[in-house]
């Protein structure tokens, strides 16, 4: 049981870290603000989701697990909204296509 | 070498590296962005040192300072010189020498510290039961070193007076403006209606938990302040006029309650800020609640800046 739990945790956290890494590479390499935002927010939402998923089996109780999920949801909400706001500001400075 | 030690070493290297980069980089915006990241890394370092209270405070102050510096950067940008005007070779040498001497003196001071370091921890832990609080950090802040905390809050007020004093005469007593180009029903509007109920509960939770776990008036107040700022920035509510009596009373609520309790201790108890042991916990909670109110309003008004609109007649 505990081995299975460790495997779930390790797989999910490593996968999450991979998405964070991919998002960071995108942030550094993509050519303009909109694509950079795209890389960052998509990868971060998924990456954090996977890390929370990996940590859930290790939570000390139901309340701690719910808090972890709440953190993930709040980051999702903030990330998505801020990405929209930044993108809107960035588009102001661009030629309309 | 175990994993935790490797992680700590990596963290130390990254923190130092980012600090060096902030100092060396030329662009103001880049330095501020680096500083925000530095604050988050420092938060992580405090967590690793098991100082969760300090970590929470660093996260709160770091993001607040970051936001303040970003707005200052935006204000300074038009006046920033395009070509760097550096100091001459002579002053460079003098500055380098001075820095080296200070670094050497600091290193010597650190190396000559007594080992083990003198500590008040046993004394603080021994009397922890006197206040009825479970969080030793809150014990120190609110009881053993209450005077420092009181003065700290007064400093916050003085800083706010400093911000307000930047207002031109005709705007004195008016409202600061945080209004952006916000479309009703837009993204910011949506967030400012969805998030505050959650954030207000979280802020009060952090304040309440401060009695027994990491947290407290400052950390809770910062969360509440950011919720209020969100509402102000979305244009759902107006920033208060700085001349408003109600606002002024809120601003002095925390320090006044603290001071009144202190004077009560002087006349009824043994000394200034001496709490009667039987009701120490309720008294501390009352002070904490009043302080949270003041901290929330003060921090939000820091970011709102000096008044920019004339007071209504």
Please report, for chain B, the start and end positions of each structural domain, with discontinuous segments joined by +.
1-77, 134-313
Torsion of CA B241, B245, B248, B252, to 10 degrees: -160
Confidence at residue A97, expressed as pLDDT on a 0 to 100 scale: 47
Structural domain range at position A82? 2-92
Beta-strand ranges (E) seen in A1-97 are none
Low-confidence ranges of chain A (pLDDT < 70): 1, 94-97
pLDDT tens figures, B78-137: 776 666 667 788 999 999 999 999 999 999 998 888 878 778 878 777 777 777 777 777
Asked if residues B255 and B154 have their Cβ atoms less than 8 Å apart, the reply is yes
Rounded CA gap, B274 and A54, in Å? 49
Confidence at residue B305, expressed as pLDDT on a 0 to 100 scale: 84
Residue A6 within any structural domain of the chain:
yes
Confidence at residue B46, expressed as pLDDT on a 0 to 100 scale: 93
Question: Would an 8 Å CB–CB cutoff place A88 in contact with chain B?
Answer: yes
Min Cα–Cα distance to chain B from A67, Å: 11
CA closest to A88 among chain B residues:
B187
Question: Would an 8 Å CB–CB cutoff place B195 in contact with chain A?
Answer: yes
Mutate to test the interface with A, among B59, B66, B191, B226 (most CBs of A within 10 A): B191
Q: Do A81 and B198 touch (CB under 8 A)?
A: no
B114 or B224, which is more confident: B224
Confidence at residue B85, expressed as pLDDT on a 0 to 100 scale: 67
- Sequence-separated (6 or more) residues with CB below 8 Å from residue B127: B144
Residue A41 within any structural domain of the chain:
yes
Rounded CA gap, B194 and B149, in Å? 34
Confidence at residue B108, expressed as pLDDT on a 0 to 100 scale: 94
Picking from A77, A84, A88, the nearest residue to B195 by CB comes out as: A77
Residue A82 within any structural domain of the chain:
yes
Q: Do B187 and A81 touch (CB under 8 A)?
A: yes
Residues of B in contact with A20 (CB under 8 A): none
CA closest to B234 among chain A residues:
A85
Confidence at residue B312, expressed as pLDDT on a 0 to 100 scale: 66
Give contacts of A 6-65 with B, CB under 8 A: none
Question: Would an 8 Å CB–CB cutoff place A85 in contact with chain B?
Answer: yes
Q: Do B188 and A74 touch (CB under 8 A)?
A: no
Residue A97 within any structural domain of the chain:
no
Question: Would an 8 Å CB–CB cutoff place B194 in contact with chain A?
Answer: yes
Q: How many domains does the structure of chain A reveal?
A: 1
CA angle B280, B281, B285 (to 5 degrees): 120
Confidence at residue A51, expressed as pLDDT on a 0 to 100 scale: 92
Q: How many other β-carbons are positioned within 10 Å of the β-carbon of residue B126?
A: 9
The DSSP code sequence of B110-167 is HHTS-SSPP--HHHHHHTGGGTT-S-HHHHIIIIITHHHHHHHHHHHHHHHHHHHTTS
Confidence at residue B61, expressed as pLDDT on a 0 to 100 scale: 85
Rounded CA gap, B191 and B233, in Å? 11
Question: Would an 8 Å CB–CB cutoff place B236 in contact with chain A?
Answer: no
Residues of B in contact with A74 (CB under 8 A): 198
Residues of A in contact with B188 (CB under 8 A): 81, 85
Question: Would an 8 Å CB–CB cutoff place A89 in contact with chain B?
Answer: no
Confidence at residue B75, expressed as pLDDT on a 0 to 100 scale: 80
Confidence at residue B39, expressed as pLDDT on a 0 to 100 scale: 92
Question: Would an 8 Å CB–CB cutoff place B201 in contact with chain A?
Answer: no
Q: At what angle are helices A33-55 and A2-29 packed, to 10 degrees?
A: 170
CA closest to B198 among chain A residues:
A74
B239 or B271, which is more confident: B239
pLDDT tens figures, B157-195: 999 999 888 888 888 888 887 766 666 677 888 888 888
Confidence at residue B102, expressed as pLDDT on a 0 to 100 scale: 96
Min Cα–Cα distance to chain B from A97, Å: 22
Q: How confident is the model at residue B277 (pLDDT cuts 50, 70, 90)?
A: confident
Confidence at residue B101, expressed as pLDDT on a 0 to 100 scale: 97
Closest CA to B300 of B214, B248, B227, B219: B227
pLDDT tens figures, B9-65: 999 999 999 999 998 887 888 899 899 999 999 999 999 998 888 898 898 888 888
Q: Do A84 and B195 touch (CB under 8 A)?
A: no
Rounded CA gap, B273 and B39, in Å? 33
Min Cα–Cα distance to chain A from B127, Å: 31
Question: Would an 8 Å CB–CB cutoff place B74 in contact with chain A?
Answer: no
Residues of B in contact with A78 (CB under 8 A): 191, 195
A to B CB pairs, distance under 8 Å: 14
Residue A88 within any structural domain of the chain:
yes
Q: At what angle are helices B52-76 and B217-233 packed, to 10 degrees?
A: 30
Q: How high is the mean pLDDT of chain B?
A: 85
Give contacts of B 162-191 with A, CB under 8 A: 187-188, 190-191
């Amino acid at each position: 049981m505990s081995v299975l739990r460790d495997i779930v945790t390790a797989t999910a956290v490593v996968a999450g870290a991979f998405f964070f890494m991919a998002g960071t590479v995108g942030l550094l390499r993509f050519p303009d603000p909109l694509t950079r935002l795209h890389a960052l927010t998509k990868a971060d939402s998924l990456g954090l989701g996977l890390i929370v998923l990996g940590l859930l089996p290790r939570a000390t109780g139901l309340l701690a697990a719910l808090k972890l999920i709440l953190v993930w949801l709040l980051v999702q909400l903030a990330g998505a909204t801020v990405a929209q706001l930044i993108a809107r500001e960035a588009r102001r400075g661009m030629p309309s296509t | 070498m175990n994993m935790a030690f490797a992680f700590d070493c990596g963290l130390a290297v990254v923190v130092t590296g980012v600090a060096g980069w902030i100092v060396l980089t030329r662009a103001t915006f880049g330095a501020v962005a680096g500083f925000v990241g530095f604050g988050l890394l420092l938060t992580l370092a405090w967590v690793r040192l098991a100082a969760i209270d300090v970590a929470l405070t660093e996260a709160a102050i770091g993001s607040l300072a970051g936001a303040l510096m970003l707005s200052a950067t935006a204000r300074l940008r038009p006046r920033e010189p395009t070509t760097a005007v550096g100091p001459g070779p002579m002053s460079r040498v003098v500055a380098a020498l001075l820095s080296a001497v200070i670094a050497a003196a600091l290193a010597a001071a650190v190396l000559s510290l007594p080992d083990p370091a003198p500590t008040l921890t046993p004394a603080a832990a021994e009397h922890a039961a006197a206040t009825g609080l479970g969080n030793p950090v809150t014990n120190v802040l609110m009881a053993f070193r209450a005077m420092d905390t009181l003065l700290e809050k007064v400093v916050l007020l003085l800083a706010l007076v400093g911000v307000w004093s930047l207002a031109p005469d005709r705007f004195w007593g008016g409202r600061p403006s945080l209004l952006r180009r916000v479309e009703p029903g837009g993204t910011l509007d949506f967030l400012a209606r969805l998030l505050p109920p959650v954030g207000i509960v979280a802020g009060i939770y952090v304040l309440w938990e401060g009695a027994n776990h990491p947290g407290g008036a400052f950390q809770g107040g910062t969360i509440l302040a950011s919720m209020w700022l969100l509402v102000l920035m979305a244009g759902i509510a107006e920033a208060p006029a700085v001349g408003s009596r109600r606002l002024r009373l809120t601003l002095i609520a925390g320090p006044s309650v603290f001071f009144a309790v202190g004077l009560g201790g002087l006349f009824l108890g043994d000394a200034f800020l001496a709490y009667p042991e039987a009701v120490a916990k309720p008294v501390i909670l009352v002070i904490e609640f009043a302080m949270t109110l003041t901290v929330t309003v003060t921090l939000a008004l820091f970011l709102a800046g000096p008044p920019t609109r004339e007071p209504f007649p």
